[in-house]
Amino acid sequence: MLRRMYDWCIDAAHKPYALWILGIVSFAESSFFPVPPDVMLIPMALARPQKAWLYAGICTITSVLGGVVGYLIGAVLYDSVGQWVIHFYGYGDKVEAFRAGYAEYGAWIILLKGLTPIPYKLVTITSGFANYNIWMFIALSVVARGVRFYVVAILLNRYGVWIRETIEKRLGLWVGLGVGVLVLGFIIAFRLF
């Protein structure tokens, strides 16, 4: 099953709708979807390393746009949708402490959490809930998400052939490590909130 999903992502890089799928996953991940865009970005960039920069750009733009939707969920819909999303991920009792931290450390929170496997949707929704300056939020999101996706693009563009061979030899191991990093991100987010 993993091999079929991986092959589908590799093949998708050559389809005309590839950028749309990547953009939709990246957009959704920043506001409500639990799966990071790396599940599409990495295989697509491995299939077409010369397009890794384009893929990173699409992820950055759509992630920031999705982040604005997450911000609006926190600012406008927190009492209904925003609270539901936060409680769904088990962070309901931690939001007030996180909100208080924004007064002093908002910029650092956005930058650091935007670079890590910690679910970014939590940052976007809480930024809106905390009424963090929307323009600063957007600027910091562009920096954090841009760095995150362009580092992946640099590595895959430069070492893509070697990385692809390594991943394909032990696909289960690498997917397991990826899932482990994602779960670790959720655990860290839970402890830091």
Res 7: pLDDT: 72
Assign 117 to helix, strand or coil.
coil
Residue 58: pLDDT band with limits 50, 70, 90: very high
User: pLDDT digit string (tens) for 101-160?
Assistant: 777 888 988 888 888 767 788 889 888 988 899 999 999 999 999 999 999 899 888 887
Q: How far is CA 53 from CA 18, 28, 44, 75, in A?
A: 14, 20, 11, 32
Structural domain spans, the chain: 2-192
Find the mean pLDDT for residues 163-173.
72
CA 35 to chain centre: 8
Sheet strands (E) in the chain:
none
pTM of the model as a whole: 0.77
Q: How far apart are the first and last CA of the chain?
A: 35
Closest CA to 106 of 127, 85, 120: 127
Res 158: pLDDT: 84
Residue 162: pLDDT band with limits 50, 70, 90: confident
Res 183: pLDDT: 67
Residue 6: pLDDT band with limits 50, 70, 90: low
pLDDT more than 90, % of the chain = 27
Res 35: pLDDT: 78
What is the per-residue burial (b if ≥16 Cβ within 10 Å, else e) of 75-112? bebbeebbbebbeebebeebbeebbebbeeebbebbbe
Name residues whose C-beta falls within 8 Å of residue 1's C-beta, 6 or more positions apart in sequence: none
Residue 20: pLDDT band with limits 50, 70, 90: very high
Q: Rounded CA gap, 144 and 114, in Å? A: 5
Closest CA to 192 of 118, 88, 82: 118
